[in-house]
């Protein structure tokens, strides 16, 4: 019986969707989300795919989509007093319904600490990241004097690329007034997210935001403050670990990247994607659920439905969008 339960746990994931909703005019399959356009609305399905180094990994992660979707909804509701956002409803743990916006093809990455990509660049000797100067003498995971915005281009396919504010405006990628509004929103949402994380015993280290335009207004779109888009450290013991030069205890997707790097993969040409053992897949699920419960203060309810796709199809059709 136990083996059967474990089999069900592994197989009841959403790897991909191919719905045909009434009035559907377009579908986009992203790295982890499938987006259906119906009139002026978007139906976004959070699948259980997981990506790293701009590659989708072979195995889906049970419950990951539901975790991301519900964390994103939690923070979109908690920041709607700062910036208007696209979300209208979450009728299913894996589904969000929202306003269709014209996306700005720039990701607003903001960093409060020298971690992840920034730490790797710093270790390689770089002291300017996306046009922002970094001070000498920093150690990995040190808190930065002030949060810095390090934008990247939002690639339709392939790798996102670091870019500076000056290049964004110089190339006319975004109107200056819109970009300035995005910067202001980014700093304000990050400050709110850091405070909410601290209240739950975590540090919001860095994150990214995406924006779109609807009826001439800048809107926050996509997900925010999830383990896919953000890095969290545990607040307790942070200073001591930094003092001792020890790795920080964290809740984010970085441990997946670290596992891939340890197995010889960073998304570079010629590298073979390693296949994650089921034990590691289950570890990822547990980490995602742990973050959900810590950051929201709510108990995560595992969806044990034997027909996840059928449930989603019925829920969306019942809305009559």
pLDDT at 8 > cutoff 70: no
Residue 7: the pLDDT is 36
Q: What is the pLDDT of residue 250?
A: 86
Residue 95: both structure tokens together: 């589904």
Give the tokens for residue 13. Answer: 């994931």
The CA-based angle 84-90-91, given to 5 degrees, is 150
Residue with tokens 């994650």: 276
Percent of the chain exceeding pLDDT 70 equals 95
| Angle, CA 140 vertex, CA 136 and CA 141 arms, to 5° | 115
Strand partners, 143: 113
| pLDDT attached to residue 237 | 98
Give me the sign of the Cα torsion angle 75, 79, 80, 86.
Answer: negative
Q: Which residue has the tokens 């969008």?
A: 321
Q: Kindly state the average pLDDT of the residues 123-146.
A: 97
5 pLDDT higher than 70: no
What's the rounded Cα separation, in Å, for the pair 148 and 138? 15
Spell out the domain ranges in the chain.
2-101+275-319, 103-256
Q: pLDDT tens-digit profile of 155-186?
A: 655 567 899 999 999 999 999 999 999 999 99
CATH number of the domain located at residue range(s) 2-101+275-319 in this protein: 3.30.200.20
β partners of residue 51? 56
DSSP class of residue 85 equals B
Q: How confident is the model at residue 9 (pLDDT cuts 50, 70, 90)?
A: very low
State yes or no: pLDDT of 218 exceeds 60.
yes
Cα–Cα distance list, 67 to 4, 79, 95, 279, 301 (Å): 24, 18, 11, 19, 9
* Distance in angstroms (rounded) separating the CA atoms of residues 125 and 121: 7
Average pLDDT over the chain, rounded to whole? Answer: 92
Confidence label for 251 from pLDDT (cuts 50, 70 and 90): confident
As a whole number of Å, the CA-based R_g of the chain is 20
Query: Of 34, 54, 55, 32, whose CA–CA distance to 43 is shortest?
Result: 34
Residue 4 has pLDDT above 50, yes or no: no
CATH architecture, range 103-256: 2-Layer Sandwich (3.30)
Which comes out higher in pLDDT, residue 231 or 227? Answer: 231
37-64 residue pLDDT tens: 999 999 999 999 999 988 999 999 999 9
Neighbour tally for 133: CB within 10 Å: 8
pLDDT of residue 159: 60
Percent of the chain exceeding pLDDT 90 equals 86
pLDDT of residue 37: 97
pLDDT score, position 254 = 80
278-308 residue pLDDT tens = 999 999 999 899 889 999 999 999 999 999 9
């Amino acid at each position: 019986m136990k083996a059967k339960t474990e089999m069900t746990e592994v197989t009841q994931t959403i790897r991909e969707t191919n719905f045909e909703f009434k009035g559907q005019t377009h579908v986009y399959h992203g790295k982890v989300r499938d987006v259906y356009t119906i009139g002026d609305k978007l139906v976004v399905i959070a699948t259980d795919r997981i990506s790293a180094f701009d590659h989708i990994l072979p195995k889906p992660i049970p419950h990951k989509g539901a975790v991301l979707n519900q964390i994103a909804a939690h923070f979109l509701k908690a920041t709607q007093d700062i910036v208007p956002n696209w979300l209208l409803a979450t009728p299913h743990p894996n589904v969000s319904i929202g306003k269709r916006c014209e996306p700005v093809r720039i990701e607003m990455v903001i960093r409060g600490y020298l971690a992840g990509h920034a730490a790797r660049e710093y270790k390689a000797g770089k002291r300017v990241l996306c046009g922002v100067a970094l001070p000498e003498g920093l150690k990995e995971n040190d808190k930065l004097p002030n949060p810095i915005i390090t934008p990247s281009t939002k690639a339709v396919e392939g790798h996102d690329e670091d870019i500076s504010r000056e290049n964004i405006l110089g190339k006319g990628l975004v109107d200056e007034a819109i970009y300035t509004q995005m910067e202001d929103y980014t700093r304000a949402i990050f400050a709110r997210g850091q405070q909410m994380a601290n209240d739950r015993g975590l540090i919001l280290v860095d994150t990214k935001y995406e924006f779109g335009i609807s009826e001439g207004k800048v809107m926050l779109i996509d997900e925010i403050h999830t383990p896919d888009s953000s890095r969290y450290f545990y607040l307790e013991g942070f200073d001591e670990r930094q003092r001792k030069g020890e790795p920080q205890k964290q809740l984010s997707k970085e441990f997946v990247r670290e596992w891939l790097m340890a197995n010889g993969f960073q998304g570079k040409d010629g590298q073979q994607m390693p296949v994650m053992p089921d034990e590691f897949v289950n570890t990822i699920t547990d980490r995602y659920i742990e973050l959900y419960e810590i950051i929201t203060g709510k108990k995560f309810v595992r969806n044990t439905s034997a027909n996840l796709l059928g449930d989603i199809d019925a829920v969306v059709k019942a809305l009559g969008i």
